Structure 1
């Protein structure tokens, strides 16, 4: 958090909301405020509000928006399968209300600010189906057990020549990657991308989001960025803004950025690894730290890890939300493709990183870059807290290559979205932590994704069958 952000946070504590908002708008000559909340697919949806309207009313009362945001897919196509809303309900309003702790200047946009919002229902309650609400609930549950959850995202993404409009005109065919060949960690090659990556890091820093490191990754045109850790809700907010910033900067420079999980069957996919830990609320100390045996996590850390391993199959639909997600798991592809764990092992799903201090944590390597960060962190918390509540102990760690293990039923993560949806629908952990309404709604949206995929004629089918049959 930069000095200005710290000052604004302090101002919020001692001045009424309206006074703070008025001062912010006046000081920075704000004309428009971009306000949005996160839908099921992790897209930032919202409005641009005049600063006048925001100051007079919307900073407190929010702005109404159609609840179709939870009744359609990422292509804005109405989903007939969902029961929450539809033409039968008339698509009434819900309320988009800003979380003023996230109000910030919009970098390189003079006169513009941005703020993340929560969704509220018509009774004035947080919308139970909204991903940010789900994560808030998990944070509250952790605090009820005496812990403050901490998380940090590592994102991989690809850059392609041509802006999104140009590539869409070509049907997304023959995409040219930003770089040719694999140049992982190449300091020399990274100099050539600094005009974009440097802009991304600077813009994020101006918003209080600290990128610890960035580098070229394993695939042509692939990059990785590591966000500094923070409390769980901020970690998800930071991940959202990072994705948004990467796409904006790429488009401004005439490129297309994508967080799609698997672009090419011959290359590695893009991951969204999440580091997780807990601090004790009472004293702020790291709950996973083990002073007596720094080579192992504490008992609390081990139970949390055991919960992640135990629930990795039934919560896979949140970690791997699209048809494409599961192609990233094929082969030795640096993805957590089995319900396994190990010490500093990058072939397992849950990587244990023990320490005597705050560095003690676990890393979930299953999620793809395409997953909704709010739901991924919430799912990690649900699984880990279940491990603590149930006093679970982990199985034996994997020593060596987890990809070489025989994938028996006890360690096999679902191989398709259909299998994952069925496991999620029947998950007692998911129902207990997220509520049956959310489980039902999420399952309905994923089944719509499956239905659309099954009806699609793919390039593979054309190439395979058109001449030979």
Structure 2
């Protein structure tokens, strides 16, 4: 990370000429502007800049979607104010002479954080957390597939017959990592020099699948790092003539890609999950127990924030390393919630979110659920030991976006946690995603029915 004073020196020495001023849309895509560095120092750093508010109502194809009260043709699609958060200022080391800053979106009329912006939704939960003198540390473990085709080639092939970077399953194999080290070492270096501290990289279970882990941080900087991570990996791949995908389920016969969320609450510099109470092999506090209880209880209410696309739900297959049941266990990868660590490292891992999640929304959902659990003193179910995939009696995660949307839209908890405006806005967003899918003819249908029906 760099300070404004550092940036001023870099700009004066012409080592930085461009500033990427950006925010995420609902899909988690980084949007914004490239700003001349001198203009940034003279104007944008003090006054921000503007963007069209249709960007928080568009679909994947950037079409303005009707039916939103937030922004529409009748209101003329005005502007929101993009206010740089200078704590996110960093060199974008993978780009030439470029720095990057992430922005909060501010409502021009109300002069408050834009309620439906993903980063605003997470910041609202941090305000709730602060009322109890708590802080939250988190990490998100992202998985992705590395492919030898570049993005343009993949597009022109209709994403069929793509060549993965591996040709047999090499989970944890050092040799697989060696073969792809030309890419992976490059992104590790770029991330580290761009203020995203890297821990490890490794091959994963799928064909050409990898995981690169970054160090945990307070929850808002962690969400920011997650966004920078994805942007870096995609842009470096693009520059190298290859591609990566963060689809939750890239191929029917391959493992899905997750974004496991690790989370713990801290108070007065100490992990508030630590305690002497026995929970099977786990020792923890009331805060730990109730946070876990709430996090599990409210998964159905906030599922679209963990699994936002049609594809997200293709990942929830028994025996596939993805969770299918709402249960917790200690160090058990068949569980939706896996408790790991001990003492200061004691934390809860939620294995439900996929690599396609928007981290601001996924972290906000996790925090809101856990904090409600503390307020309501929600007891978690008994610890489960054994193969949770085989435990058909346990409640399951919603298996489709169509199933998850009404649970979210009609949830009193979601409306209280995020506000009715946010729930209405995102329910409309997810419904449009579902509608687009319902009206599309898929390759699966053509292959199945073209000749044989």
The TM-score with structure 1 as length reference comes to 0.93
1:118 aligns with 2:104: yes
Assess if the C-alpha contact under 8 Å between 1:185 and 1:216 holds in 2: yes
Please show how residues 369-388 of structure 1 align to structure 2 within 5 Å. 369-388=355-374
Q: 1:288 aligns with which of 267, 273, 276?
A: 273
Once residues 183 and 349 of structure 2 are traced to their aligned partners in structure 1, the CA distance between those partners, rounded to angstroms, is 28
Partner of 2:22: 36
Please show how residues 70-469 of structure 1 align to structure 2 within 5 Å. 70-123=56-109, 124-280=111-267, 283-290=268-275, 295-356=282-343, 358-407=344-393, 411-469=395-453
Q: 1:50 aligns with which of 36, 47, 60?
A: 36
Assess if the C-alpha contact under 8 Å between 1:160 and 1:175 holds in 2: yes
Please give the root-mean-square deviation of Cα atoms over the aligned residues, in Å: 1.5
Q: 2:49 aligns with which of 52, 63, 73?
A: 63
Once residues 165 and 236 of structure 1 are traced to their aligned partners in structure 2, the CA distance between those partners, rounded to angstroms, is 29
CA 1:229–1:28: 2 relative to 1, 3 Å: farther
Partner of 1:16: none
1:29: Cα distance to partner?
3.2
Partner of 1:15: none
Once residues 448 and 323 of structure 2 are traced to their aligned partners in structure 1, the CA distance between those partners, rounded to angstroms, is 31
1:130: Cα distance to partner?
0.5
Once residues 93 and 292 of structure 1 are traced to their aligned partners in structure 2, the CA distance between those partners, rounded to angstroms, is 52
SS of the equivalent of 1:264 reads: coil
Once residues 447 and 336 of structure 1 are traced to their aligned partners in structure 2, the CA distance between those partners, rounded to angstroms, is 24
The TM-score with structure 2 as length reference comes to 0.96
Once residues 237 and 90 of structure 2 are traced to their aligned partners in structure 1, the CA distance between those partners, rounded to angstroms, is 21
Once residues 228 and 74 of structure 1 are traced to their aligned partners in structure 2, the CA distance between those partners, rounded to angstroms, is 30
SS of the equivalent of 1:64 reads: strand
SS of the equivalent of 1:315 reads: helix
1:103: Cα distance to partner?
1.0
Question: Which 5+ residue runs of structure 1 have no aligned equivalent?
Answer: 13-18
Once residues 159 and 297 of structure 2 are traced to their aligned partners in structure 1, the CA distance between those partners, rounded to angstroms, is 39
1:297: Cα distance to partner?
2.3
Once residues 108 and 84 of structure 1 are traced to their aligned partners in structure 2, the CA distance between those partners, rounded to angstroms, is 36
Once residues 284 and 202 of structure 1 are traced to their aligned partners in structure 2, the CA distance between those partners, rounded to angstroms, is 30
1:111: Cα distance to partner?
2.2
1:126: Cα distance to partner?
0.9
Assess if the C-alpha contact under 8 Å between 2:57 and 2:68 holds in 1: yes
Once residues 376 and 292 of structure 1 are traced to their aligned partners in structure 2, the CA distance between those partners, rounded to angstroms, is 29
The CA deviation string for residues 307-362 of structure 1, in whole angstroms up to 9 with x for no partner, is: 11101111111101000111100221111222111111111111112512x20100
Assess if the C-alpha contact under 8 Å between 1:157 and 1:223 holds in 2: yes
Once residues 196 and 262 of structure 1 are traced to their aligned partners in structure 2, the CA distance between those partners, rounded to angstroms, is 22
SS of the equivalent of 2:270 reads: coil
SS of the equivalent of 1:345 reads: coil
SS of the equivalent of 1:220 reads: coil
1:26 aligns with 2:12: yes
Once residues 287 and 24 of structure 1 are traced to their aligned partners in structure 2, the CA distance between those partners, rounded to angstroms, is 41
- Answer with 256-265 or 288-297: which moved more: 288-297
CA 1:216–1:354: 2 relative to 1, 3 Å: closer
User: What is the number of residues matched between the two proteins?
Assistant: 450
Assess if the C-alpha contact under 8 Å between 2:317 and 2:323 holds in 1: no
1:138: Cα distance to partner?
0.8
